[in-house]
Structure 1
Amino acid sequence: MKPLLECGCRRMLLEGPTTPAEAALLAVLAPLGRIYGGLMALRRWVYAQGLLPQVTPSVPLISVGNLLAGGTGKTPLVSYLVDLLQRHGYRVAVLSRGYGASGLRRDSVRLVCAGNGPLLTAEQAGDEPYLLARRHPAAVVVSAPRRSAGLRCALAQGPIDLVLLDDGFQHLALRRDLDLVLLDARRPLATGRVLPAGLLREAPAALRHADLLLLTRCPLPLPPPLALLPERPQVRFGQQLASHMQDLAGACRPLHDCRGGRVVAFAGIAAPEDFFAALRQQGIVPAATLALADHSRYDRAQLERIQALAAGADWLLTTEKDAVKLRATDFDRPCYAVPLELVCYDEALLAAPLLTLAEAGRHPTGC
């Protein structure tokens, strides 16, 4: 029941109220949203005035963050940036807060990957850092709620050319050389309201602090640039499911093998309905779907719930982010992860500042 309530609440905050009861609830939450938005604006001002300390890294640092609370495709985009930089020969570190990692305290620092593949499990690292470490075994990946401590750990792993601060737009304790902010092109500001009356972490005015806006989930034909900040460069991304799927033991097969079979799909991400819709676009219509909370834990009760839903199914499909927390022995039928692929329509605009910074930071010395 809890995941369903969470998904229902997210729909209301993303699209607005559809019933008198929801309208009444949002009327109560609206003043709280204005207060929270004001506090976040004050916090930015305090940092800008130097009244709160900031750590200045010895290597270039790029923040990749959101204005919206989840659901913009940040993890696939961080993976895309790591791949872009590695293709040009740069050594990259990723700093994550490690959300969802078991037993992670505020002062914890966990080295997920030192450049030779994952050192921890998904449960220890957090699903997103583990997925990045598995996709990019040559990268350095650190989970640390205090990102400055994570930075020290990353730089201790040898020469780093550039650091990516995952989910960093509101993490102001680290100075950055470039602020990349993701917006869903379909609904960039949702309802325009700040938490808890909406899904924005800050008021829309905070976007003036972004250097580049990354518009995800752009449809074809490509839309024109957003009018809300015409002076900011805007990089457009599309996304699609890969043409293959991978079972929990690592074996791949074509995604179209599922067509015609009885498919049950489940996802514990910020926007699970987007995953189910993407399957339908590929001609795979699930007989049943299960939307779980973001960063969902797969304990025995959760696995039994999926097993019951999958009775009579030929295939179980899920996301890569969910699959890293599952084992091949968890189910009595095939379970496959379907990767998400990004297409950048303005790569030159994005690559130029990234590669310039990475070149400036090549072979740093010290921390």
Structure 2
Amino acid sequence: MKDTLSDRIRRGDTIDPPLSWLLSGATIFTRAGMGIRRMRPFAAVDADVISIGNITAGGTGKTPAVIRYAKRGVAAGVKVGVLTRGHGTRQSSSVVVSSDIEPEDHFRLLGDEPALILRKVPEALVFKGKDRVQSAQIAVQDHGCQVLILDDGYQYIHLGRNDDILMIDSTNPFGNGRLLPRGFLREPLSDICRATHCIVTRCDEGLDRSEISETVQRYNPGCAIEWTVHSPTALIHADTDVEQSLDLFSGKDVIAACAIGNPESFTKTLESLGMNVIESHAFADHERIPQNVLKSSHPAIITEKDAVRIQSPPDNVFAVGIELETLPD
């Protein structure tokens, strides 16, 4: 994939005038959007609501966190609902409920991340809708959900929540400190103040904890910070779903391909498993990986989120299973 302007901004590369001036001027629209969100009426539902989201654009590892909290709810014996917008799917005024559709239609009608959540936590229900207040009301009133997980909900401030969890990617926690589109902050750092709990991800990839901790504490004194890694659990054959040992391709040449928000971290994960990555292909987040990229005499390794998008994957394709693992303080 070609190096896009978005990639350059995410990495913090220098953007020269006049483009930098245009991007800085366009941040007025980001600020206007924040103002509109704050004007919307507040709503609450009779359930425990856990919001999981970012202050930045791009991948921070929300989906493994959503899966973790959904599993905890199911293990506690409560009915769990996940509220999502269903990125990349057709939007309508009605709410789509996962129990009303067949599993083979989960990706098409709900999106890749909800489809992966349902694979990992089949006991949960997913509610897809642009109006997540409406989704929450349907989840509680019509389906008896007791715990709701608001996926990518940090900016969806008009739905009340018990926990407002802020995800932070340690490899690029706050970018260049600028708002979209000049930077990749969705809102100012001062809005860290709303978080009830921060989860810092990918802490195994070289991290000075003090910088992140000082920034969080500056805007939200006393806020709890959890330091985590994306821990590989298994290699999963993409066509059969059969799990294999993580060392299956240790010391062997492989092809890496992904369409996620932080592709560099995926390549590092494969290298940490002893794989020799001879080709690396990165596509835009949520994009379907072309079949011709995957067909090879070498194993092709993808993420689980990528796997749900691929129909009839070639026999050489494997996905890396990931779980969120908490590190000692």
TM over 0.5: yes
Distance in 2, matches of 1:330 and 1:140, equals: 27
1:228-264 deviation per Cα after TM superposition (whole angstroms, max 9, x unaligned): 1321221221223224333322112113222343311
Task: Give the conservation status (yes or no) of the 8 Å contact 1:262–1:314.
Answer: yes
Alignment of 1:280-359 (within 5 A): 280-297=271-288, 302-304=290-292, 306-307=293-294, 310-311=295-296, 313-327=297-311, 329-331=312-314, 333-345=315-327
Alignment of 1:1-367 (within 5 A): 3-5=1-3, 8-18=4-14, 22=16, 24-33=18-27, 35-43=28-36, 45-46=38-39, 52-101=40-89, 103-105=90-92, 107-113=93-99, 118=103, 120-156=105-141, 158-219=143-204, 223-224=209-210, 226-230=213-217, 231=221, 232-297=223-288, 302-304=290-292, 306-307=293-294, 310-311=295-296, 313-327=297-311, 329-331=312-314, 333-345=315-327
1:320 CA drift (Å): 0.3
CA distance 1:167–1:221, change in 2 (3 Å): closer
Residue type of the alignment partner of 1:28: L
CA RMSD between the two structures: 2.5
1:185 CA drift (Å): 2.2
Distance in 2, matches of 1:260 and 1:184, equals: 29
SS of residue in 1 equivalent to 2:168: strand
1:210 CA drift (Å): 1.5
CA distance 1:214–1:120, change in 2 (3 Å): same
Task: Give the conservation status (yes or no) of the 8 Å contact 1:129–1:142.
Answer: no
Distance in 1, matches of 2:179 and 2:300, equals: 36
1:144 CA drift (Å): 1.2
CA distance 1:343–1:288, change in 2 (3 Å): same
The size of the alignment, in residue pairs, is 323
For structure 1, list consecutive stretches of 5 or more residues without a partner in the other structure: 47-51, 348-367
Task: Give the conservation status (yes or no) of the 8 Å contact 1:117–1:138.
Answer: no
Task: Give the conservation status (yes or no) of the 8 Å contact 1:17–1:23.
Answer: no
1:338 CA drift (Å): 0.7
CA distance 1:266–1:113, change in 2 (3 Å): farther
Task: Give the conservation status (yes or no) of the 8 Å contact 2:257–2:282.
Answer: yes
1:48-97 deviation per Cα after TM superposition (whole angstroms, max 9, x unaligned): xxxx3222112121211110112100111111111222223322111011
Residue type of the alignment partner of 2:95: V
Residue type of the alignment partner of 1:54: F
CA distance 1:211–1:346, change in 2 (3 Å): farther
Distance in 1, matches of 2:10 and 2:58, equals: 11
Distance in 2, matches of 1:153 and 1:346, equals: 39
Task: Give the conservation status (yes or no) of the 8 Å contact 1:248–1:326.
Answer: no
CA distance 1:37–1:275, change in 2 (3 Å): same
1:139 CA drift (Å): 0.9
Q: Which residue of 2 aligns with 1:359?
A: none
SS of residue in 1 equivalent to 2:31: helix
Off by >6 Å, runs of 4+ in structure 1: none
Residue type of the alignment partner of 1:38: R
Distance in 1, matches of 2:37 and 2:129, equals: 22
1:15 CA drift (Å): 3.0
Task: Give the conservation status (yes or no) of the 8 Å contact 1:117–1:136.
Answer: no
Distance in 1, matches of 2:118 and 2:142, equals: 15
